[in-house]
Structure 1
Amino acid sequence: MERINSKHNQQIKAVKKLTTTKGRKQAQQYLLESWHLVQAALEAVPAADVVMIYATDDQYLEHGADLTGRPVTLISTAVAQELGETMTPQGIFLVCKLPNPAQTPDYRGAWLLLDQVQDPGNIGTMVRTADAAGFSGVAFGKGTASPFNGKVLRAMQGSQFHLQMVETDLEELVVQFHDHQRPVYGTELNPQAVNYREVQPQTDFALIMGNEGNGMDPTLLQQTTKNLYIPITGQAESLNVAIAAAVIMFRIKAN
C-alpha cells in the first residue's frame, strides 16, 4: 500500500486542485471529505468511479475493514490538513469521477429546481429536505453553486446519493417538464401568486426556488404553471429560502 507523507507530493497537489471548479472540470473528478461522505459514496457510486481513498493511519485503523478491495493510499496528518477544507479534518478523503453531464432526468416524481441559489448551507438543507420528502431529483441551474463544491457536498450530508442530481439550464428543463405534462411551480409574492395551501398534494411536478436575495429569474416566472407564496401572519418580512422550500415541499408532495 502506498504512503504519502509530504504535502508537496505531486499526487497530493493534483488532488488539492479538485477543491476548485477549474480543477474538477479538468480532471473530471471531485473530492469528498469525512468518513460519513466517503461511506455514503462507497455504498452508492459504481466501484469503477472510485479513483482513490486517502486515509491517515488512525482512519485506516478504524475503517480499513470497510475499505477492503478499494484503492487506498495512506497519508500523514500534514497531508490530511493540506487536503481538508474543515478546521479539523478527520483524515479520510475519496476522489470520485464526476457523473456523466449528459444524464437525462427522469421526469417522473417530484423535482426541486434551484435557480441561482448560492449559499451552500441553504442548498444542503434543501437537498436533504427533498430527500426526506421523497423527491426524485434536484436540478442545479445556472448561477447556483456547484453540487461538487466542498461546502455544498458537506452540507448535503450524503442525500445527494439518494436523488438524481443534474446541472442544467432551467429554462430548457422547464420546457421539458411541460412537454411531459408535469406542472411547474415557481415561488414569488405577487398579485398573481397562489397560496401554497391551495395546491393539492401530487406526485409528479417541479418546484423552483430562487436566489436568496433576488428570488426567481423573471423569465422562469413566466414559464411556470403557477407561482406560489407562503402567507406570513407574523411580523417577519420573509422566510429563509431553505425554510420556505421545506414548507412547500412537504405540503404539495403526495405521500
Structure 2
Amino acid sequence: MKIIDSPKNDTIKNIIKLKQTKYQKKERLYLLEGRHEITEAIKAQAPIQQLLVTQTTLDANPTFLGDFETILISDAVSKHLADTKTDQGVFAVLPILTPTLPTTIKGAWLWLDDLQDPGNVGTLVRTADAAGFTGVIFGSNTVSAYHPKTLRGMQGSQFHIALYKADLMATLLTFKAQNIPIYGTALGDNTVSFRDVGPVTDFALVIGNEGNGMAPDLLKATIQNLYIPITGAAESLNAAVAAGILMFQLHQ
C-alpha cells in the first residue's frame, strides 16, 4: 500500500485540485470526503479510482478496503485535503459520470433551474432520493453537483438517484412528447395550492432560482404552477424546504 506523509506530495497537489470546477471538467474526476459518503459509494459499487485514508480511520473501518488503489495518508495530509474543519480521515477520487436520459420517461423527476446555493442543491438531491424520485436534472446554469458543499448536502444520495445535466427547455420537449406533466413553482396569478394537486405517478417538478424563481419560458410551459400557502409572518420558504413539501405531496 502506498504511503504519503507530506501535503506537498505531487499526487496530493493534483488531487486537491479536484475540488475546483475547472479541474473537475478537465479531468472528469471529483474528490469525495467523509466516512458516510465513502461508505455509500462502496455500497453502491461506485467506480472509485483512489481511496485515501488515515491509519486511524482504516483501523476503525476495515471495510473501506476494496478493489481500487488505496493510499495511506498522514493526519497532516488529511487536514490539507479536507473541506471541513474537522476531517474524517477518508477521501475518494471518483469519475464524473454523464448519463443520458432514458428513451422512455417514467417516474418522478426533479428539475433544478438556475439554483446557485450548493448547500440547497445538495439537500434537494437528498430529499428527492428520500421521496423516491427517479432522477434529478441540473439545468445548464445550476451549480455543479460536484461542488464540495453540494456533495456534503447530498450525503451520498448521488449513488442512489441518477443525476443529469441538460438544457431544461430542450428536456421539456422530450417530456411533453411523452405526455409527462411538468409542474412549476411560483406565486401570483394562475397558480394553485399544492394541496389541490397530487399524487401523480409520472411527472417533473421544477424548482427555480433562490431569488428570481423559474425562467419565464419554463414557467409558461408547465401544466400547472404550484404555491405553498404561508399562514405565518415569514415572507417565503427556503427553496429546499419548499421543494421537499412539494415532492412528498406529489409523489406518494
Per the shorter chain, which TM-score range?
over 0.9
Distance 1:246 1:102, change over 3 A: closer
Distance 1:66 1:24 in 2: 24
Name structure 2 gaps, 5 residues minimum.
Answer: none
The alignment status of 1:127 with 2:112, answered yes or no, reads: no
1:7 corresponds to 2:4 = no
SS in 2 for 1:118: coil
2:145 to 144, 147, 152: 147
How far has the Cα of 1:103 moved from its partner?
Answer: 2.0
Question: Which shows bigger deviation, 24-33 or 62-71?
Answer: 62-71
Counterpart in the other structure of 1:91? 89
Structure 2 CA distance, aligned partners of 1:6 and 1:103?
A: 40
Distance 1:196 1:68 in 2: 46
Give the alignment partner of residue 51 of structure 1, picking from 46, 49, 52.
Answer: 49
Task: Name the amino acid aligned to 1:126.
Answer: L
Distance (whole Å) between structure 2 residues aligned to residue 212 and residue 84 of structure 1:
28
Within 5 A, what are the aligned runs for 1:136-175?
136-175=134-173
Stretches (4+) displaced over 3 A: none
Which residue is 1:184 aligned to?
A: 182
Q: What is the aligned residue count?
A: 251
2:39 counterpart residue number: 39
AA partner of residue 23 (structure 2): G
Change (3 A) 1:35 1:117: same
The verdict on how the C-alpha distance between 1:65 and 1:129 changes in structure 2, with shifts beyond 3 A counting, is closer
Report the TM-score, using the length of structure 1 for normalisation.
0.94
| Counterpart Cα distance in 2 of 1:200 and 1:35 | 37
Note the C-alpha offset of 1:102.
4.8
Partner of 2:196: 198
**Letter aligned with residue 12 of structure 1:** I
Partner deviation per Cα, 1:99-150 (whole Å, 9 max, x = no partner): 1x25224621000101111112211222121111111111111221111111
Measure, in 2, the Cα distance between the counterparts of 1:173 and 1:18.
29
Greater Cα offset, 235-244 or 108-117? 235-244
Counterparts of 1:86 and 1:119 in 2: how far apart (Å)? 17
1:96-111 to 2 correspondence within 5 Å?
96-99=94-97, 101-105=98-102, 107-111=105-109
TM-score (norm 2): 0.95
CA contact (8 A) 2:192 2:224 kept: yes
Say which is worse superposed, 232-241 or 155-164, in terms of deviation: 232-241
1:191-213 CA distance string (max 9 Å, x none): 11122122131110000001111
Task: Structure 1: state its 5+ residue gaps.
Answer: none
**Offset at 1:19?**
0.3
1:217 and 2:215 are equivalent in the alignment? yes
How many angstroms apart in 2 are the aligned matches of 1:18 and 1:153? 13
SS in 2 for 1:245: helix
The CA RMSD over aligned residues, in Å, is 1.4
Percent identity for Structure 1 against Structure 2: 47
The one-letter code of the counterpart of 1:132 is A
> Is the counterpart of residue 18 in structure 1 residue 15 in structure 2?
no
Deviation digits for residues 14-69 of structure 1, max 9, x if unmatched?
A: 101100001111111111001111111112144xx211000111112122344143
Q: Which amino acid letter does the alignment assign opposite residue 217 of structure 1?
A: A
Q: Per the alignment, do residues 66 and 93 of structure 1 end up closer, same or farther by CA in structure 2, a change over 3 Å counting?
A: closer
Could you tell me which residue of structure 2 aligns to residue 235 of structure 1?
A: 233
Matched position secondary structure for 1:50: coil
Task: Give me the whole-angstrom Cα distance separating, in 2, the residues matched to 1:123 and 1:178.
Answer: 25
1:197 and 1:85 mapped to 2: Cα distance? 40
